[in-house]
Amino acid sequence: MLLYIVRRMALAVSVVFATMVLAFFLFFAGPGDPALNLCGDAKCNTQRVEEIRKSFHLDEPVSKQFADYALGVVAGREITSGGFTKPCPAPCLGYSFKTDQPVTGLLVARIPVTLSILCGAFVIYLLIGIPTGVYAANRRGTAVDRAIVGTTQTIGSIPYFVPALLFSLYLTILHPLFPRGDYHPLSEGLVKWASGLLAAWIVLGIFGSTGYTRYVRASMVESLAQDYVRTAKSKGISHHKVLFKHALRAALSPVLTIFGLDLAASFGGVIFTETIFDLHGVGYTAVNALRTSDLPVIMGCLIFSAAMVVGMNLVVDLVYGFVDPRVKVS
Amino acid sequence: MSTGPGMSSTAIMTPGGAPTPAAAVDVKPGRSPSRIAFERLRVDKVAVISFFVVIFFVVIAVSAPLLAGLSGQSPTYVNSELVDAYGYPTIGFTSDHWFGVEPLLGRDLFARWVYGARPSLIVAFISAVATTAIGTIAGLTAGFLGGVVDRVISWFIDFVLALPFLLFVLVAVPIATSWFGSPESMEAVQISQLRMWILISVFVLLGWAGLARLVRGEVLSLREREFVQAAKAIGVPTRRVLFREILPNLSGPIIVSLTIAIPSYVSAEAGLSLLGAGMIEPTPSWGRTISEASRFFAVDPLYLLMPMLAVTALVLSLSLLGDAVRDAFDPNTRR
Amino acid sequence: MTASPPTSHGKVGLHDSPSTQGTRHSTRSGGSLLQVTDLVVQFPTADGVVNAVSGLSYSVDLGKTLAIVGESGSGKSVSSLAVLGLHNPQRTRMSGSINLDGTEVVGLSEEGLRRLRSNVAAMIFQDPQSALHPFMKVGDQIAEAYLEHHRVNKARGRARAIEMLDRVGIPNPQRRARQYPHEFSGGMRQRAMIALGLVNNPKLLIADEPTTALDVTVQAQILDLLGDLQKEFGSAIVLITHDLAVVAEVADDVLVMYGGRCVESGTVKEVLAAPRHPYTWGLLGSLPTLGAEGDELRAIRGTPPSLISLPTGCPFHPRCDFASRVPHGLCCSALPELGPRPGQSEHPTRCHLSALQDIYEEEVAPTIG
């Protein structure tokens, strides 16, 4: 078992490292010239570009730049630019080209926003998905079931940003039936926090739950067909107990795995939600940084979300190994 | 079922009665899986409607120049006279401009709408086909060759799957485009074209891994099957057996991959264009149009709603059709 | 060992004191414990109606064991599931009568069925690996059945579960009760299933292929256990199996099923020593015996019939070596009646052949080892 854990962790680290390499290559080592990109618009002349290049150490060999960067992520480093030396504690993701603030600090400030969106949305996924899925599976083949399947299929197929945008424009701006998207930290009060996120939760929750409804239903249908459900029935217990205590208990475990992985993947920032509802989370930060060519920030976001996905995958794998006593670790 | 508790009912069939004679049942001739699937699809109303919607959009895309020509407009011609000093269009929809004109630049919206079908469909189809092809080849290679090759490919699969798709595409496309062309060296139209191909490439670079993993899994599980070992025991090379057996088994994952990929890519392209990381000027893309239109939605709702409707209808019908196709080919599902 | 108070329809109150001996079920005056009459079970499907059981009648008394023998698809499991009303009412058409301890099961409400299940009649399923819930402790699964029919607290339920595990011969029952099914060996799982089946002291135990998934040595232990428990509690057992050796070991009566119908029935002695149906002959003939001469295993030619399109006339005739001896192609066109054949067979059989005894004694018996 220990060997397995070690191997999985090594794999996870290698993937995050590779992401760093890829991102670095993309930004600093590609045929393009980051200094030129940074320079941006009209005021650019060769002298300005050179200044930028020197100031951000872009004139050094790529391998050195990367080594400095990688070392910084693990152990922190000091960054000199424009004659000043700035400390950058681990994990050091560089300094923003635009705001001259540490990227890590910026991310840390933005993560709670994404988390707030996710926690509300994921709760809704389960609140809608599980009961609906169980209900549909229990009445499998009936008109109600077909209606549920058809509805989730349809809603789930609509590209998310369309209803999100419509909701935002028509229901929070034009006719403010719902509070406008805006992030207030929990410290400002639960109600304020929730109201700023409500619109995002509703839209993301409704559209994201369709997958869960389908998945719970499928898992329940399979579980209900199992022998142990028949055994449960043969004990004379109520249908309710059979459904929840026996069938659902077994059906939920794969659903929770998906849930965990979905959560991990969403850490890349629920980009559409954040941009449409003006919530400054990780995804929003990345999109914004793109507009201003703030490469360290973009890189930081990318590495962070890759690390989250990999980390969460690892956690889910390990937890599953402990929770499901039958899993043999090969 | 009988009449109630405590009463024993009479049998439906008398104790000596025989069921329907076997001779009366006609035996259906064997049909290939594709035939069966096709017949099931034909009867499926949702599938048929979706199919025609998709065809509708394909026709629009293909005949965009013709359609735009019908209204006598072009998607790039700037009708600055129809836009007032504040940038708002002075006309609604007229017989000249069926969808009106856009704010600021005053270009004909109907023409931009019909042309907008093109990037959506082109990007989606090419990406989906390329992703499926590469994924299949990679999976087969890893599964068949095993050893180091398998380890390397598997690692790449894990790596690619760990990358956050949307974020990565968002970031990679503009940067990669800047490598190959900049506003100084190329015309806007050329850059726009380049951008489309970069977008497709990035989609493919990220999209092959899912199918590759599935295909590799199929090959590996096939290896475990006893008949492979049996064949080996009589001297048949494992590869030959695997190859003969694997191809029919591949159709399932491939169909699934294609039917999911196409609507996903249409949606992704539109979404990315919305965020500014997809198609750029002057190529008309529905996503792009939606992004611009959202600023004017209160005064010119049609500007926003038409491309939204188009994207939604296309993705929805592709999705539903894909669902129907998957169900039709799956011997286990019964509608 | 303390056993539960006598079972009845419904829950038992707290004040009933447990007796110290096993409760013996007494035979009801007149009428058997289980009386199945003309049972028909059909499953309408998209491909046609599956005629799983087409008119089955039998009865079982307390203290007796009836073995139902047949291939897969003969209807043996389906008919037994019907006794407890375990088929999905929306997908099943049932008719006929199943009288269990005075209650008519066919058409009974779900609530009525629940009161019977595990209480009056219990079922032991074929594959304990899949029949036990993988995520619930074994003790909890057994206790659940007990708590459903007895108004006692959880601690009593758990104690009962441990009692039962002990009774079926599982060592260290306290520890085992807290374990999960996958931690048990195959034989132990089957014992746990038996414990589950017997926890409420049911009058009827239906065992569906209880030994099929087990090694031969463990099979013997399980059969012994069932026999002991029957002797102690006086319950009736319906044993479903395809294995004639098991039948010979433990059953009092046997019913041979084919194509959803009974083709031969009687006491074990009658049917095994003097079988009177070509299908039974085939079953006996296909049993490999030690020391027998010959170099081939004999199987009954052909394959089991499709339950959607059963053959006309006698369901076995396509595979019967003797069908040609019946004049006028009767086997093809008419279903034989089930009944004894005076002069040829003392016990009921469903066959058109008129010389059953002669054919058996002269042609079939010598070939069976």
Instruction: Give residues 251 to 270 of A whose Cβ lies within 8 Å of B.
Output: 265, 267-269
Using pLDDT thresholds of 50, 70 and 90, give the confidence band for residue B21: very low
> Within a domain: residue B220?
yes
- Count of domains in chain B? 1
> Within a domain: residue A122?
yes
Q: Are C195 and C142 in contact (CB under 8 A)?
A: yes
Structural domain boundaries, residue A311: 103-323
Q: Could you give the 3-state DSSP secondary structure of residue C26?
A: coil
Instruction: Give residues 267 to 326 of A whose Cβ lies within 8 Å of B.
Output: 267-269, 271-272, 275, 283, 286-287, 290-291, 298, 301-302, 305-306, 309-310, 313
CA distance C81 to C91: 14
- The pLDDT of residue B26: 44
> Within a domain: residue B21?
no
* Partners of residue B25 in chain C, C-beta under 8 Å: 48, 308-309
- The pLDDT of residue B248: 76
Residue whose structure tokens are 């049609």:
B302
Do A246 and A213 share a domain, yes or no?
Answer: yes
Domain containing A165 — which CATH number?
A: 1.10.3720.10
Mean pLDDT value across residues C334-362: 86
Indicate the residue among A40, A59, A88 that finishes a domain. Answer: A88
Using pLDDT thresholds of 50, 70 and 90, give the confidence band for residue A36: low
> Within a domain: residue B19?
no
Mean pLDDT value across residues B36-62: 87
- Give the residue from chain B lying closest to A218, CA to CA: B333
DSSP per residue over C325-359, as a string? GSGGGHHHH-PPPPEEETTTEEEEE----S-HHHH
Do A30 and A145 share a domain, yes or no?
Answer: no
Residue B92 has pLDDT above 70, yes or no: no
> Within a domain: residue B24?
no
Residue C172 to residues B19, B321, C176, C185, C194, Cα–Cα distance (Å) = 54, 58, 6, 14, 17
Strands C253-258 and C65-69: parallel
- Tell me the residue ranges of DSSP E strands in A122-238: none
Using pLDDT thresholds of 50, 70 and 90, give the confidence band for residue C16: very low
Tens digit of each residue's pLDDT (9 = 90 or more) over C248-284: 888 999 999 999 999 999 999 988 888 889 898 888 8
A100, A104, A106, A109: CA torsion to nearest 10: -160
Tens digit of each residue's pLDDT (9 = 90 or more) over A193-243: 888 899 999 999 999 999 999 999 999 999 999 999 999 999 999 999 999
Residue C195 has pLDDT above 90, yes or no: yes
- Closest Cβ opposite residue A246 in set C117, C133, C180: C133
| C206: β partners | C123, C238
> Within a domain: residue A214?
yes
> Within a domain: residue B233?
yes
Q: Do B294 and A165 touch (CB under 8 A)?
A: yes
Tens digit of each residue's pLDDT (9 = 90 or more) over C197-229: 999 999 999 999 988 878 888 888 888 888 888
Mean pLDDT value across residues A148-163: 92
Residue C13 has pLDDT above 80, yes or no: no
- The pLDDT of residue C6: 42
Chain A contact for B163 (CB, 8 A cutoff): yes
> Within a domain: residue B11?
no
- Give the residue from chain A lying closest to C87, CA to CA: A230
Residue B48 has pLDDT above 80, yes or no: yes
Do A37 and A138 share a domain, yes or no?
Answer: no
Q: Do A161 and B263 touch (CB under 8 A)?
A: no
Arithmetic mean of pLDDT over chain A: 83
> Within a domain: residue A273?
yes
What's the whole-model pTM score?
0.82
Mean pLDDT value across residues C38-42: 94
Do A262 and A190 share a domain, yes or no?
Answer: yes
- The pLDDT of residue C171: 93
- The pLDDT of residue B20: 37
Do A142 and A8 share a domain, yes or no?
Answer: no
Using pLDDT thresholds of 50, 70 and 90, give the confidence band for residue C30: low
> Within a domain: residue A329?
no
Instruction: Give residues 18 to 37 of C whose Cβ lies within 8 Å of B.
Output: 37
- The pLDDT of residue C299: 79
Q: Are C139 and C178 in contact (CB under 8 A)?
A: yes
Q: Do B176 and A30 touch (CB under 8 A)?
A: yes
Q: Which of A80-89, A108-117, B275-284, C158-167 has the lowest mean pLDDT?
A: A80-89
Using pLDDT thresholds of 50, 70 and 90, give the confidence band for residue A40: low
Residue B203 has pLDDT above 50, yes or no: yes
Give A169 or B249, the one with higher predicted confidence: A169
Most confident of A311-325, B69-83, C130-144, C210-224: C130-144
Domain containing B122 — which CATH number?
A: 1.10.3720.10
Measured in angstroms, the CA of A326 and the nearest CA of chain C are apart by 7
Using pLDDT thresholds of 50, 70 and 90, give the confidence band for residue A322: low
> Within a domain: residue A206?
yes
> Within a domain: residue A216?
yes
> Within a domain: residue A157?
yes
> Within a domain: residue B204?
yes
Q: Which residues contact C302 (CB under 8 A, 6 or more apart)?
A: C318, C319
Measured in angstroms, the CA of A279 and the nearest CA of chain C are apart by 41
Tens digit of each residue's pLDDT (9 = 90 or more) over A277-290: 999 988 898 888 88
> Within a domain: residue A328?
no
Do A12 and A129 share a domain, yes or no?
Answer: no
Residue B61 to residues A144, B114, B125, B304, Cα–Cα distance (Å) = 38, 6, 13, 19
Q: Are B82 and B76 in contact (CB under 8 A)?
A: no
- The pLDDT of residue A327: 53
Q: Are A172 and A200 in contact (CB under 8 A)?
A: no
Q: Do C131 and A227 touch (CB under 8 A)?
A: yes
| Residue A114 CB burial class (10 angstroms; 0-12, 13-18, ≥19) | buried
- Count of domains in chain A? 2
Residue C243 has pLDDT above 90, yes or no: no
- The pLDDT of residue C34: 92
Using pLDDT thresholds of 50, 70 and 90, give the confidence band for residue A41: low
Mean pLDDT value across residues A76-92: 73
CA distance B257 to B140: 15
> Within a domain: residue B4?
no
Cα B98–B103–B107 angle (5° rounding)?
Answer: 50
Backbone angles phi, psi at B45, to 5 degrees: -60, -45
Chain C contact for A328 (CB, 8 A cutoff): no
Q: Could you give the 3-state DSSP secondary structure of residue B92?
A: coil
- Give the residue from chain A lying closest to C9, CA to CA: A236
Do A262 and A296 share a domain, yes or no?
Answer: yes
Structural domain boundaries, residue B158: 33-329
What would the two tokens of residue C352 be? 């058109």
What would the two tokens of residue B126 be? 């090419």
- The pLDDT of residue A302: 86
Tens digit of each residue's pLDDT (9 = 90 or more) over B162-183: 888 888 888 888 888 877 776 6
- The pLDDT of residue C322: 86
Residue B91 has pLDDT above 80, yes or no: no
Do A247 and A108 share a domain, yes or no?
Answer: yes
CA distance A60 to B322: 51
Q: Where are the alpha helices (DSSP H) in B225-237?
A: 226-233
Residue B202 to residues B16, B58, B225, Cα–Cα distance (Å) = 71, 24, 37
Using pLDDT thresholds of 50, 70 and 90, give the confidence band for residue B29: low
Most confident of B241-245, C30-34, C293-297: C30-34
What would the two tokens of residue A268 be? 């890349």
Do A185 and A39 share a domain, yes or no?
Answer: no
Mean pLDDT value across residues A309-324: 76
Using pLDDT thresholds of 50, 70 and 90, give the confidence band for residue A145: very high
Do A109 and A62 share a domain, yes or no?
Answer: no
